[in-house]
Amino acid sequence: MTTRRDQDDSGTLDELIEEILVDAYGDAEQLGAFAEAFADRLTLPVDAFIIGEPVSVTEIDYDGNALRGLTARCRREGTGEHVVGLSDVRFPEGSEGARLLAAYRKWLGIEPDPKPATSRPTKRHKAAEDDLDLSGPIELIALAVKSNTARCLIPGTGREITLRSRDVWNRVPGEIMTVRPRKQWRYGGHPYLSGNVESSRLDVPALGLTPLGLECVGTWDPVKDYWGEEGEPLEEWVKPIIAGGPRPEFEMEQVLPGQDPEDPFRDPLLEAIELRAAGDSVEAEKILMDMLAEDLRCLDAHAHLGNFAFDHRPELALRHHQVGVGIGELCLGADFDGVLRWGWIDNRPFLRCLHGYGLGLWRLGRSEEAVAVFERMLWLNPTDNQGVRFLIGPARAGESWEEGFGDH
């Protein structure tokens, strides 16, 4: 339905177009007239947006190609200058640039005002934007990271914002970033922020997550369930476990976002692993990041992101695994003394995170910390399905990861 306001806006644009095109005949002259109008009425450079990305428009020109129309030379931080069709640019709502652009688009025969971007909060969005004080550094929780973009959570609000920054490529989901903001805007109703990431830290309790559930599934008895051969001498790592006697056994809750109840055979985690094996690491990581954006408690996503990074970026892999370990520890508490056997499938994501974390510490030369992680894994999962009992000796002896792990 066309409202009176739409009619009024349309009439105003018609008047503006007529004013701009007076004594201009034919496409070439009229395009030149629009270029002159922008030059006379708009002070450059001016802030604008292209597909939601903030840019600075430094020049608006008509080069004589009537098919191309008016062009805009835009500068975007970190990517240099580029030229685009002016009709693809969006100026802040209510600005003179937006008014002139609407007239130009209407003359082209396309929608004058397709949800213009705004760098100023409307009443509808004011409450969300008032949460961010852009006068100094702010904190954001990373949910998913891709290249120079991070989906983030504003602490304490439950609201998301997308951060554009060249510094986010080395951050991992679950870390709390300290950001010095530069600019804030909205596009398509979603808030965006640009800025520099000054630092990041891991503080799992500050994430405000609900701890994963923990279900008691019985009692593990080291004598009854001992896996060794009768008559064989006990290895040193086994003795304290046997001496510990029976302990309660638990299964940890597993969170797997993205599963489709209508399609029980769809497993996004398995899809990511298969894509990675097929050489499509980008799409594999995207699937895992999307799972974490939905729920940071998906420990298997942390584990596999760490595994993917381990060969070439061990420091990054360590942080992925460390986040998963920290989130798993939330449900165990400081005094947990139970058993989390590998045989209970939902325990495996946490044990994978621990395994990757221990290997990462060892590879980075932090052998004593790695030994402590391996010993904890044996205490939690005495059946040692992951084979860490073969790693403790070399790590404790001071062998490097390359020396010790390469032999097993």
pLDDT at 117: 45
- Residues 6 or more apart from 184 whose CB is under 8 A from it? 119, 129, 132, 134, 191, 192, 193, 194
Q: Which residue range is the domain that position 68 belongs to?
A: 4-108
Which domain-ending residue is among 61, 78, 108? Answer: 108
Domain count, the chain: 3
Question: What's the mean pLDDT in 347-366?
Answer: 96
pLDDT digits (tens, 9 = 90+) for 125-159: 344 444 577 888 999 999 999 888 999 999 888 88
Beta-bridge mates of residue 220: 247
Q: Is the pLDDT of residue 368 over 90?
A: yes
pLDDT at 365: 93
Q: Give CA–CA dist 214/179, Å, rounded.
A: 35
Q: Are residues 244 and 368 in the same domain?
A: yes
**Is 168 a member of any domain?**
yes
Q: Are residues 8 and 92 in the same domain?
A: yes
Which domain-ending residue is among 206, 238, 271? Answer: 206
Q: Give CA–CA dist 148/145, Å, rounded.
A: 8
Burial tier of 348 (Cβ tally within 10 Å: 0-12, 13-18, 19+)? buried
Pairing of strands 190-201, 159-164: parallel
Q: Is the peptide bond before 45 cis (omega within 30 degrees of 0)?
A: yes
**Is 179 a member of any domain?**
yes
Q: What is the CATH number of the domain that holds 173?
A: 2.40.50
Q: Give CA–CA dist 244/341, Å, rounded.
A: 16
Which domain-ending residue is among 206, 229, 263? Answer: 206
Q: Is the pLDDT of residue 227 over 90?
A: no
pLDDT digits (tens, 9 = 90+) for 49-92: 887 778 889 999 998 887 788 999 988 765 667 888 898 888 88
**Is 289 a member of any domain?**
no
Q: Are residues 175 and 221 in the same domain?
A: no
pLDDT at 286: 92
| Mean of all residue pLDDT scores within the chain | 85
Q: Are residues 34 and 176 in the same domain?
A: no
Lowest model confidence (mean pLDDT) among 49-63, 319-333, 354-368: 49-63
- Residues 6 or more apart from 246 whose CB is under 8 A from it? 219, 220, 221, 222
Q: Give CA–CA dist 335/313, Å, rounded.
A: 33
**Is 74 a member of any domain?**
yes
**Is 281 a member of any domain?**
no
Q: Are residues 53 and 140 in the same domain?
A: no
Q: Are residues 326 and 222 in the same domain?
A: yes
Q: Are residues 239 and 335 in the same domain?
A: yes
pLDDT at 380: 96
**Is 383 a member of any domain?**
yes
- Residues 6 or more apart from 114 whose CB is under 8 A from it? none
Percent of the chain with pLDDT over 70: 87
Q: Are residues 228 and 346 in the same domain?
A: yes
pLDDT digits (tens, 9 = 90+) for 12-34: 888 899 899 888 888 888 999 99
Q: Are 315 and 225 in contact (CB under 8 A)?
A: no
**Global model pTM greater than 0.75:** no
Q: Give CA–CA dist 158/290, Å, rounded.
A: 17
Q: Give CA–CA dist 29/23, Å, rounded.
A: 9
Looking at 235-364, list the stretches that DSSP marks H as alpha helix, in order from N- to C-terminal side. 239-243, 268-277, 281-294, 299-310, 314-332, 348-363
Q: Are residues 195 and 225 in the same domain?
A: no
Which of 187, 193, 185 has the alpha carbon at shortest distance from 177?
193
Q: Are residues 47 and 140 in the same domain?
A: no
Q: Are 300 and 288 in contact (CB under 8 A)?
A: no
- Residues 6 or more apart from 161 whose CB is under 8 A from it? 132, 140, 152, 153, 154, 191, 192, 193
Lowest model confidence (mean pLDDT) among 1-5, 163-167, 269-273: 1-5
Q: Give CA–CA dist 220/337, Å, rounded.
A: 12
Choice between 232 and 119, residue whose per-residue pLDDT is larger: 232
Q: Is the pLDDT of residue 318 over 90?
A: yes
pLDDT band with cut points at 50, 70 and 90 for residue 229: low
Q: Are residues 46 and 162 in the same domain?
A: no
pLDDT at 131: 55
pLDDT at 127: 41
Q: Give CA–CA dist 10/18, Å, rounded.
A: 12
Q: Is the pLDDT of residue 108 over 80?
A: yes
Looking at 157-262, list the stretches that DSSP marks H as alpha helix, in order from N- to C-terminal side. 239-243
**Is 68 a member of any domain?**
yes
Element (H, E) at 74: strand 71-76
Q: Are residues 304 and 398 in the same domain?
A: yes
**Is 268 a member of any domain?**
no
